[in-house]
Amino acid sequence: MTEHRDYQGAKMGMWIFLFTEILLFGGLFVLYSVTLGRYPTEFHEASKLLDVTMGTTNTVVLITSSLFAALSVVGLQRGNPRAAKGFILLTLGLACCFLVIKYFEWSHKIHAGLYPGGETLVQWEPGRQAFFSLYYTMTGLHGLHVIIGMGVFLWVWTRIAAGTCTPAHFVALENAGLYWHLVDLIWIYLFPLYYLIT
Amino acid sequence: MTTDAVSPGFMASGGKSWVREWLFTLDHKRIGMLYLWCITAFFAVGVLLGLVIRMELFWPGKDFIGQQAYNAIFTMHGVIMIFIVVIPSIPAAFGNLFLPLQLGAEDVAFPRLNTFSFWLYAIGGATALISLFTGGGAPDTGWTFYVPFSAATTTNVSVAVAAVFILGFSSILTGLNFIVTIHRLRAPGLTWTRLTLFAWALYATAWIQVLATPILSITVLLIVVERVLGLGIFDPARGGDPILYQHLFWIYSHPAVYIMILPAMGVISDIIPVFCRKSIFGYKTIVGSSLAIAFAGSLVWAHHMFVSGMSDTAVMVFSFLTFIVAVPSAVKVFNWLSTMYKGSIRLEPPLIYALGFIFLFAMGGITGLVLGSAGTDMHVHDTYFVVGHFHYVIFGGTGFGMFAAIHYWFPKMYGRMYNRKQAIAAALILVVGLNGLYFPMYLLGLEGMPRRYYDYLPQFTSLHQLSTYGSWITFVGLALMLWNLIRSRYRGEPVGRNPWKAATLEWTLPSPPPTHNFDTEPVVTHGPYDFSQVRDDDGA
C-alpha cells in the first residue's frame, strides 16, 4: 500500500480537532459566565488576590513562544530543518518558563490556604470559593494542555531529527504549531477573565 | 448446508501473530470487525444485566437481589448500553467497514488514528468493567451521573466517568476521521449528490460527535475534579450549581441520541431502495433531514429539564424546538414509505428488520412528542413512560438499524449467507418481544410508576410481569438471531459479490473484500440507487 499523503486532509483534521478543544473549554467558559453573573462582587474581590504581574509575564511568555512556534514552521517551509529545531527548543523553553511561573503562583496560593478545602477558602462566602474552584480547574486544564503541547513539539522535534518531517512534508510541525496557538489563545481569554476583572 | 471454501479476503492471515495482525492493524475493515465483535460482546453483557433488572421487578419487594445491587445493575446496564454499545454501534462498526468502500477509497483518511480510536474504545470499555469490581463498589448513580449524588456517593463513580471520558475521546476521533474521509477521499465522479445516504448519515453523525462530545468530556471531568480534588463546581455550598450539571450533561447527551439514531436511519435509507428495486424517493430531502436533525437536535437538550426549575419561557422554547425535530424525522419515514410504494418488494431479512425499525421507531418517536410537550411531560416525567419511549427509540430504532445492517452486509463481510427463514423468524419474535417488553412501560408510566425504583406498589404487578415476559421473548429472538449468524459465518451458503443486486460500490468487490479495497480506483458515473446498471451475473 502506498503511503497516503494528504496535506489538506491532515490540516482539516487538525482544525476539526481544535474545534473540539474550544468546545471542551467552552463548557467551562459557560460555567464561568453563569457564576460570574451570580456573584459579580465576589468575583471582583477574589480576582484582586491574583498576582497581575505574574499573569502578565506569563501572557508575554506564551505569546512569544507562539511566535517561535510559527517561526519554526516558517523555518522548515523554507528548507531549514536546523532553524526549525532551534525554534522548537525555544518554544519548549518558554513553555517551561510558563509552567514554572504557574507553579510559583499556585504554590503561593496553596500556602495561603487558598485551595479547595483549604483553611482560608472554606471560611469564605460561596462566590469567592466558586471563583477559585473555576480558577484552579481552568488554569489547571490549560496547564495540562501546555504539557501535552510540549510533548507534541518534542515528538515533532525527533521526527525532524529523524528526517521524516521535512521541508516537503511539514504538516506534522504545522499542526503542532496550530495546536500551540490554540493553547496560547485560550490563555489569552483566561488572563483577563481571572486577573483583570477587578 | 454447504461448507465450500470462501476466499478469506481481508480476513486472511498474513502469517504474523494474531495480536499484531489484528490489534495493530491499519485496515479499516479489520477495525470495523473488531468493533463489531466487541460491541456484540458488550451487548450480551448489557442484555443480561437488563434481564436481571426485569427479573427483580417480577414481584414487588425483594425477589433475589438487594437494593444496592439493583442500583449498580441498572447503572451499568445504562453505561454499557449507551456508551459502549449504542453510540459506537453503527458508526464505528459499519462505518469503518463500509464507508471507505462506499466512497471508493483505500482506507479512512487517518488509518493510524483509526487504530488509536479502537484502542481508546477497548481501554474505555475495560475501564468501565474495572469500575464494577474495584473501589467502593459498582457505581449506583444511573448512567446520567447526576450531581450531587455522583459527587457524594462512595461507590466507584470516578473510574466509571473516566471510562466515559476515554470512550468519548474515541468517539470524537472516529467522527473527525469520517468527516475528513468523506471530504477528501471520494472516488472520481462521486459527487456529493451521488454519496450513499448511509455516508450522508455518517457525515451528519460525525459532526455531532465532534461538536457535542467535548462538552460531555469536560462535564465528566468536572465530576472527577469535584470528587477527587474537592472543588465545588456543582456544590451550592461552595458557590456551584447542580442544575448547571444537568445543562452541560444534556447539551451532549441529547445530541448523542442522534448519534445513535442517525446512522440507523442511514442504514434503512440504503436498504429500502435495494429491496424495492426503486431509486430512493426524495434523496435530497433525506440528506437535508439528516442535517436538519443533527442541527435541530443540538438545540433541544433542556427538554430533559422541564421539571428542574427553568423559566416558563425557556420551557416553551425548548418544547417548541423539540417539536421541530419531529419534522425531519417524519420526512424520512414518509420518504421510505414512498420509496416502497409501487416498488418491486422482496421481503428479505434486511428489509424485515428495516420495517421493524420503522414501526418501532415510530412508536418511540410519537411518544417523544408526549414527553416534548411540557404539559404532558409534567405528568409522565421520570416515570416508566420515559423508559418505554427511550427503549423503543434506542432498541427499536438503533438496535433494529444495527440488526438490519448486520443482515444486509453479512454476506459482504463473510462471503456467506445466513438462513433467511431463521433470520425472519428472529425479527418477528423480536418485534413481538420488544412490544411486550416496552409497551407495558407506557401504561405503567401513565399510571405513575417512577423509573429507577427498586420496589413498587402491588397494583403495578401485572404490567411489570407482562414486561418481564416480553424480556424473555426478546431474549429468545436475540439468541436465535445470534445463533443463526454465528453458525452461518462458518457454514452458510457461499455467495457472490452482490447477492442483493445493490448498486453501491462495496458490492462491486469480492465477498469478503480484499485487503486492498479496489485494484483500480473506481470512477462513479451514476447515483447509489440507480439499479439499471446492475448486472444479473453479479449475484449469488
Q: Which residues of B touch A26 (CB under 8 A)?
A: 214-215
Q: Which residues of B touch A129 (CB under 8 A)?
A: 232, 238-239
Residue B4: band (very low, low, confident or very high) from pLDDT cuts 50, 70, 90: low
Residues 6+ apart with CB under 8 A from B57: B63, B456, B464, B467, B468
What's the whole-number mean pLDDT along residues B224-230?
A: 89
At B367-381, the pLDDT tens digits run 999 999 999 999 999
| B538 pLDDT higher than 60 | no
On whether residue A4 sits in a domain, the answer given is no
On whether residue B270 sits in a domain, the answer given is yes
What's the whole-number mean pLDDT along residues A89-97?
A: 97
Q: Letter for the amino acid at A91?
A: T
Take residue A190 and report the three cell numbers written for it: 483566561
Contact B218 A24 (CB under 8 A): yes
At A41-82, the pLDDT tens digits run 999 999 999 999 999 999 999 999 999 999 999 999 999 999
What's the whole-number mean pLDDT along residues A132-140?
A: 94
Identify the closest residue of chain A to B237 by CA–CA distance: A126
What's the whole-number mean pLDDT along residues B238-258?
A: 91
At how many degrees (to 10) do helices B96-103 and B157-184 cross?
A: 10
By Cβ distance, the residue of A20, A30, A42 closest to B214 is A20
What's the whole-number mean pLDDT along residues A126-148?
A: 94
Contact A4 B213 (CB under 8 A): no
H/E run at residue B416 = strand B416-417
Residues 6+ apart with CB under 8 A from B429: B473, B474, B476, B477, B480
At B486-520, the pLDDT tens digits run 999 999 999 989 999 999 999 999 989 999 999 88
On whether residue B537 sits in a domain, the answer given is no
On whether residue B276 sits in a domain, the answer given is yes
At B424-460, the pLDDT tens digits run 999 999 999 999 999 999 999 999 999 999 999 999 9
The answer to whether the beta carbons of residues A84 and A72 sit under 8 Å apart is: yes
Q: Which residues of A touch B240 (CB under 8 A)?
A: 35, 126, 130, 133
Cα-to-chain-centroid distance, residue B363 = 17
On whether residue B239 sits in a domain, the answer given is yes
Contact A27 B219 (CB under 8 A): yes
Contact A137 B232 (CB under 8 A): no
What pLDDT does B178 receive?
97
On whether residue A3 sits in a domain, the answer given is no
| B219 pLDDT higher than 80 | yes
Cα torsion B67, B69, B74, B75: sign: positive
CA-based R_g, chain B, Å: 23
CATH of the domain at A94: 1.20.120.80
The rounded percent of chain A whose pLDDT value lies above 90 is: 84
By Cβ distance, the residue of A28, A116, A130 closest to B218 is A28
On whether residue A166 sits in a domain, the answer given is yes
- Most A CBs within 10 Å: which of B169, B233, B244, as the mutation test of the A interface? B233
Alpha helix segments (H runs only) across B305-380: 312-340, 349-372, 374-380
Q: Which residues of B touch A126 (CB under 8 A)?
A: 232, 236-240
Q: Scan residues 103-122 of A and list those with Cβ closer than 8 Å to B.
A: 116-117
d(CA B114, CA B91): 12
What's the whole-number mean pLDDT along residues B158-187?
A: 95
d(CA B506, CA B408): 12
Residue B7: band (very low, low, confident or very high) from pLDDT cuts 50, 70, 90: confident
The rounded percent of chain B whose pLDDT value lies above 90 is: 82
What pLDDT does B239 receive?
87
What pLDDT does A115 receive?
82
Take residue B483 and report the three cell numbers written for it: 445463533
What pLDDT does A3 receive?
58
What pLDDT does A114 receive?
84
Q: Which residues of A touch B241 (CB under 8 A)?
A: 34-35, 38
CATH of the domain at B385: 1.20.210.10
Residue B537: band (very low, low, confident or very high) from pLDDT cuts 50, 70, 90: low
The answer to whether the beta carbons of residues B456 and B463 sit under 8 Å apart is: no
Coil, strand or helix: which one is A96? helix
What pLDDT does A120 receive?
83
Give the count of domains, chain B.
Answer: 1
Q: Which residues of A touch B222 (CB under 8 A)?
A: 137
Instruction: Give the residue numbers spanning the domain of B321.
Output: 27-531
On whether residue B100 sits in a domain, the answer given is yes
On whether residue B224 sits in a domain, the answer given is yes
Q: CA dist A107 to A111, A136, A192, B374, Å?
A: 6, 12, 21, 50
Burial bucket for residue B319 (CB in 10 Å: 0-12, 13-18, 19+)? buried
Contact A39 B239 (CB under 8 A): yes
ipTM of the complex: 0.92
The answer to whether the beta carbons of residues B412 and B513 sit under 8 Å apart is: yes
Residue B536: band (very low, low, confident or very high) from pLDDT cuts 50, 70, 90: low
Contact A19 B210 (CB under 8 A): yes
Identify the closest residue of chain A to B516 by CA–CA distance: A1
On whether residue B15 sits in a domain, the answer given is no
H/E run at residue B78 = helix B67-79
| B1 pLDDT higher than 50 | no
β-partners of residue B383 are B450
On whether residue B437 sits in a domain, the answer given is yes
| A116 pLDDT higher than 90 | no
Q: CA dist B36 to B85, B351, B400, Å?
A: 9, 21, 15
d(CA B100, CA B515): 12
Residue B125: band (very low, low, confident or very high) from pLDDT cuts 50, 70, 90: very high
d(CA A19, CA A10): 15
H/E run at residue A70 = helix A52-77
d(CA A32, CA B102): 45
Measured in degrees and rounded to the nearest 5, phi and psi for residue B416 equal -135, 160
Instruction: Give the residue numbers spanning the domain of A150.
Output: 10-195
Task: State the number of CA atoms in the 13 A half-sphere of B11 facing the CB.
Answer: 15
Terminal Cα-to-Cα distance of chain B (whole angstroms):
15
Burial bucket for residue B214 (CB in 10 Å: 0-12, 13-18, 19+)? buried
What's the whole-number mean pLDDT along residues B261-283?
A: 95
H/E run at residue B261 = helix B242-276
Residue A134: band (very low, low, confident or very high) from pLDDT cuts 50, 70, 90: very high
Residue B12: band (very low, low, confident or very high) from pLDDT cuts 50, 70, 90: confident
What's the whole-number mean pLDDT along residues B214-218?
A: 92
What's the whole-number mean pLDDT along residues B3-17?
A: 79
Contacts 24+ apart (CB under 8 A), B136-140: B137/B68, B137/B72, B138/B72, B138/B73, B138/B75, B138/B76, B139/B72, B139/B75, B139/B76, B139/B79, B140/B68, B140/B71, B140/B72, B140/B75
What pLDDT does A197 receive?
85
The answer to whether the beta carbons of residues B424 and B349 sit under 8 Å apart is: yes
DSSP conformational letter for B341: T
Give the count of domains, chain A.
Answer: 1
